[in-house]
Structure 1
Amino acid sequence: MRNLLAEILELQLEWDSANTPAMERRGVVVRKELPAELSRISGNLQHAMGPLISDLHFEGRDGTGRKTAIPWARFFSASRSPSAQNGWYCVYLFRSDGSGVYLALAHGSTSFLNGMFVPRADGQLADLLTWARTTLGDALLRDPRVQSKIDLGEGPGKLAKPYEKSTVAGIWYPADNLPDEAQLTADAVMFAGLLGQLYGAQDQRRMPGEIAPEIIEAVEAVDEIAKPLMGRSRAGQGRGLSGPERQAVERRAMELAKSILEREGFTVEDHSATASYDFLASKNGCKTVVEVKGTTGGLGAIMLTANEVTLHQSGTINNALFVVHSIDLDRHGPQPIASGGTVHRLQPWRLNPDQLKPMAFEYALLAE
């Protein structure tokens, strides 16, 4: 790998937007030889990322048509980062002046909104980086070479600043002092471990602005039924929840809600299997209908059935809503285990029609 990095940096000194012989050679090294070399250590990288990451991929780009001043090569989970514009990945970023290359942990600069990918605002990127650094914590401090910011210079083109704004951390390799093969491999493995931690947190839908898995699955189910030729929704980046995982999350949410109600002196009956609510809580002759929602994501949107909306909009019942968010999910054993969680409680719960968003409609065709 060391020789390939050195060759790309030498070719950077001959950068041209046209496909000159030097740029043609650079393209071969960036797009083919460097990803192939990284794939040789895929076993080490895979082990560092963890057993849940089974789709490790490698790719390099140096511009389509006109050659970019900052070529790159990355390794990533194909489902969690389908393109360099979306998701977390590890990437080698070459300075345009050929003075060195960064190994960086970065995020794509777009987000999924209203069915398409759109550029993220600077504030959104800043929130993502803050979340990532908080999630990784001390892991970013173990190696003094790891920097929280990178500097790709003021070279030609407009790519340097977006790359800098979307990078969590990086290690700088100067052209005149590149590490040996062993160190380069060790650094790649270290960054793969960091990437695996972010993927694990991402799979639990903990990132700022992340759509809860329940919402994504509902959208995909509706799309699959209404538009079977359309394929799965692009919103579903990352790993969704299986049936057993959803059940574990829901059970954990109900356990926490029930324990709180019982501590407050309520008698709690479980009606989740037969009614449009989960608990009937009784205290001093007063009955309260309780809805419970659990999610591995943060506090955000929740799924409600038509019957649940009708019931809680009636205004004729005492009601409450418990949303248990940020539930931890352990998938390593034969059965998923849910733990933790933060309770958000609304009692009484008054549904605001402005906060309801229809996801599908039934259209009745009348005989003429």
Structure 2
Amino acid sequence: MPLPETIAQIFKRKQKSYKIVLILSLIEELRASKRERVSYDRVKMRFLNYFIAEQERGNRVDLPQGRKLWREASKSRLKDILNSPVNALSHILYVDLRENTIGFHSQIHRQLGEEGLSQLERLANEELQAYNAALQRFSLQGYLEKILAEYTSAKMEGFAGHSLGTLFRQTLPSELKALPSIDEQYKVQGSIGQGNWATVPWLAVLDKRITETTQHGEYIVYLFAEDMSAVYLTFNQGVTKPIQEKGRREGYAYLRDRKEALLDLLDLTNMNKDENIHLVDSGLGQDYQVSTIAYIKYDRGNVPNDEQLIQDLENVIEDYRLYVESVIAPSDDEAIDEEVELLPQEAEPLKDEEVTSILHHIQSHIRRQGFFFPEHLIENFYLSLKAKPFVILAGISGTGKTRLVKLFAEALGATRDNGQYTLIPVRPDWSDPADLLGYKDLSGRFQPGPMTQVFVEARQPENRHKPYFICLDEMNLARVEHYFSDLLSVLETQEWRESEIQTQELISSALLGIPEDRATYGGLGIPENVFLIGTVNMDETTHPFSKKVLDRASTLEFNYINLQQYPQGAEQDAGDPADLNELNHLFLRSDYLQLVDAYDTHQELVVRTTERLVKINTLLEDIHAHVGFRVRDAICFYMIYNERYGLMEEEEAFDWQLLQKILPRIQGSHSSVRRVLLGLMKVAIGSSAGITVNVQELMDDDASPLYLKWAAGQNPPGVKHPQSARKLAYMLRRLEEDGFTSYWLS
């Protein structure tokens, strides 16, 4: 009997060799113990021993981060390594951290049986053999020729998830790090652009003692000509900062003078030191040509063999090492040291498997402050911010909305004292953006508003990788569409800026006109490291939200309160708090702006989610509350991040999105509203729950134990989307009792 499709496809998308080795280690332990659940520690040891044995045989294997030898991998590092494949296989594997056990889900275990287990073992061994064979065949020559041959035609294809992106960002950096000459002091990074294909793709080796970014400092980089006629191994210098600070003409002069000074210091044996490097005829690549100090040219179709390529690279690395050691050594000439010390470093992207651990530390910080929020609320808050940097926290007064923002920010090192957390109370008389952004006084001078001051501070070079949080307290005391309209519009103008040999940034249109102080406020948009959160109370003193606002935000509701939740003692939350003060803003910044950015790599999830929304839209059209592409994209991004980080089951994540992005749009008194609510109730309960939708039963406080459980904040048993079902029950009851219902009034 063939393996079920869900199991046969588990190795289709590989995470190095880790998923394959994990499955083999688990099968071995299952056979040895003859139990359905086995010791997670014993599986970890089998996993580790495989890689140790392969290395000792002299075979090339995937390396543990921060180590060249698997024997040196610590227990904590091994745990972090396994988090990624365990999360990726969570649909078939079950891990009980309290019992420290692992196994297949019971249904999967029964479905496999001994025959299926043997088939899965054979499949894993075949995949591992093919993977290792490919790993041993690494050829730098082959990869360079492949890029030169395929990049031009690849630019006509979809960008997201393209195999050349994986080659530049993962495969080549991993392979180069395995070379003996590239030790842990070096960072290897490649790029084909972000969001769009780069004109000049690159692969860089950076000494972390002087720079971790290609924006400044000196480094080694392979640069590919735009027409893919050649690739250049170059000793280079950062071009971004000089041009930003001095302008292009003076910046070029500075770079040429700096090149002459560096050539006097360095041997750069067998490298060309002229200016005949040719990357582009015009445009961005000209900056790279000017910034190049020396180079070796490899023509397409005539790239030398691996031995020569690696020898050339090792020669340049040796010159680079000697240069860096001369720079960091004390000397009378401090000019170079000063430049290196003062320039900001590029943000290091997080690995997906690190997110769960960071969120755990945030939750621990919140609990230590004596606050307790419902299960998965922190994960939901994080995913909502990640999908869109504007979130609304709604609910009755005193439920901890403002406190959540403050504590979440504090856990990431953002406080009032360092200016990374700002609370702005909204006033009822605000009628235009001037109260937030600023205005010109009677003398004609621009007076910045509180939000503008944060934006200016956040975009300073030394701050641009720190997260900044702005909490608009009781933001619906005034009409949001009036004073917040400019920001809502600018949020929609965000786009990727293709920058010079660097990780790209999100930029938006300018918020202000052209104030006199252009140096401070010129071109000021919403910085990518600023996150906006509004708190709202819904009562007779406040204003409702328009669909324009709801489309651009996720709405988290705080209405289900358990007063018997008490502060936890220190012994209940063991372990020292993690220091997340140095965590950069990429933890929260969106990775996608348009669905095309994520579609290729998450196509199945996007299609499943969109099909759900199509069915829901059919119901919503009856009351003109259906959603458009903006809401679809935001929900898909939320679901993708959740799947990447392994935070919640897919149904639970969609439940949050149904509650936050769909239900707030519904209000009215017509019978059509009742039909829509009933239709959505059927969606929320699910066809397999075995529960009949009885509206009277759902609304009756006394007669229904189901309703009483929902009112107490418990999840209804067997319901597909319990959060949404509970909210819909309240909205239906409000419609029956008052003749009018709204998400905000229930």
**TM-score, length of structure 2 as denominator length:** 0.25
Q: Which has the higher helix share?
A: 2
Q: Which has the higher strand share?
A: 1
Larger RCO, structures 1/2 (Cα 8 Å, 6+ apart) = 1
* Bigger Rg, structure 1 or 2: 2
